[in-house]
Amino acid sequence: MNDRLQLPKVELHCHLEGTMPPPLVRRLATRNGIQLTDGLFDNNDQFVWTNFSEFLKAYDGGARCLRTGQDYHDITYEYLSSCAQQGAIYVELFASPDHAAAVGISYTEMLEGCVQAIDNAQRDHQICGRIIITCVRHLGPGQALSVAQQMVAEPHPYVVGFGMGGDETLHSPQDFLPAYRIASDAGYGCTAHAGEVCGPESVWAAIDQLPVTRIGHGVRSIEDPKLLEALYHRNIALEICPGSNIALNVYPDYSVHPLLALLDAGISLSLNSDDPPFFWTSIGKEYQRGASTFQLSEQQLLKISCMALKAAFVDEETKSQLLLQLKN
C-alpha cells in the first residue's frame, strides 16, 4: 500500500463524542471521578457493541465521561491534532448539545471548549476545524428544535452547520422541519443521516422534506437509480464512511460497498471516519483504503478532497484558501 499520508484530506462527517479512544475515555473518567459504565470496554480495551443500537449505547457511555468545557477542549484538540498528523487540512465535527446537557454542560461551555481547541489546533498543526451542531433523531423533534434555537441564539463563526444523527428508524424527517428551518433560515448548512440503516426511501424523505445539501452516509441510495439522478441534479453530496458501514454491517465486506458505483454515477462525495475508535478507523485509514481496497488513484483521492471542500459548510473565503492548498 502506498503511503497516502501526504495527500491533503478533508473530513466532513465525524462525531466529536465518538472520537475518543478508550484510553482517553478512561483518563476523563478518572479526572472527573466517574465510574465507567459496566461492560463499556472489553479486555483488549475496545468499545463493546454488536449492533447499531448497542453502538449508540456505547457511544453514550463514552460521552457521559465528559464533564467540563476543558474536556470538550481536550477531545477536540486531540482529534484535530491526530487528523493533522494524517494529512487532513479541514475537518467538520458534529457536536451534540444534548449529550453535553445530559451531564450538566451548557451549550456555551461546550462551545467555548471546542472553539479554543480549534484555535489551538490551527496554531499548532495548521489544521482548520469547524463545528456542525447536531440533534439526535431518537430524542425527538422537540429536543431538536431546542438545539437549533440555542445554536442560532448564540452564533459563533466556527459553527457552520446543523445536522441530525441517531436512530434513523424513528420519526420522519418532516417532524424535524421546524428545527431545520430555523437553522437554514439563519444561513447554516444542513445535513442529516439517512440511507445508512434504512433504505433509499429514507434518503428521499430527507432530501424532499428537509433543506439539506448533504446526506450523512446515504450509501443505500445506490439501490434507486431515480434517487441517484435526484442527488446528482440537486447537487446533494454524500458523506461516505466505508469503515463505519462495514463495522455496522450495512455491507458484509468492501467488495459490495457502493463507493465506486456512487463515484461512477457522478455523485459528489467525501470519505469520512464517523466514529473512529468504535469502527477501528481514522481519516488516514479511509484514504488508505480508498487507495488499496478501492484502487483509487492519487488523482481520484485528491478529487474526493476537492468535492468534499466544495460541499463543506465553511465560509467561502476560508474555502477558497483551503482549495488552494489542494492545488499545491
Q: Which residues bind ligand ADE (CB under 6 A)?
A: 15, 18, 59, 165-166, 193, 196, 244, 274-275
Shortest Å distance, C-beta 313 to ligand ADE? 18
Q: Which of ligand ADE, Zn ion, none is residue 196 near (CB under 5 to 8 Å by kind)?
A: ligand ADE
Please name the amino acid found at residue 236.
I
Shortest Å distance, C-beta 67 to ligand ADE? 20
- Note whether 238 and 207 are within 8 A (CB): no
- Note whether 185 and 177 are within 8 A (CB): no
Instruction: Give the DSSP per-residue string, 17-85.
Output: GG---HHHHHHHHHHTT-PPPTTSB-TTS-B--SSHHHHHHHHHHHHTT--SHHHHHHHHHHHHHHHHH
Q: Nearest-CB residue to ligand ADE?
A: 165
- Out of 274, 287, 289, 326, point to the residue binding Zn ion (CB under 5 A): 274
Q: Which of Zn ion, ligand ADE, none is residue 290 near (CB under 5 to 8 Å by kind)?
A: none
Q: Which of Zn ion, ligand ADE, none is residue 18 near (CB under 5 to 8 Å by kind)?
A: ligand ADE
Residue of 17, 92, 196, 286 marked active site: 196
Catalytic residue list contains 109: no
Helices within the chain (DSSP H only):
22-31, 52-63, 69-85, 97-102, 107-125, 141-153, 177-185, 200-209, 225-233, 242-247, 259-264, 283-292, 298-311, 316-327
Q: Toward ligand ADE, which CB reaches closer, 47 or 90?
A: 47
Within a 13 Å sphere around the CA of 93, how many CA atoms are in the beta-carbon half?
A: 31
Shortest Å distance, C-beta 137 to ligand ADE? 8
Q: Toward Zn ion, which CB reaches closer, 280 or 325?
A: 280
How big is the chain, counted in residues? 328
Q: What angle do CA 80, 82, 87 make, to 5 degrees?
A: 90
Size of the site for Zn ion (CB under 5 A): 1
Shortest Å distance, C-beta 156 to ligand ADE? 22
Q: Toward ligand ADE, which CB reaches closer, 8 or 258?
A: 258
**Binding residues for Zn ion (CB under 5 A):** 274
Catalytic residues: 196
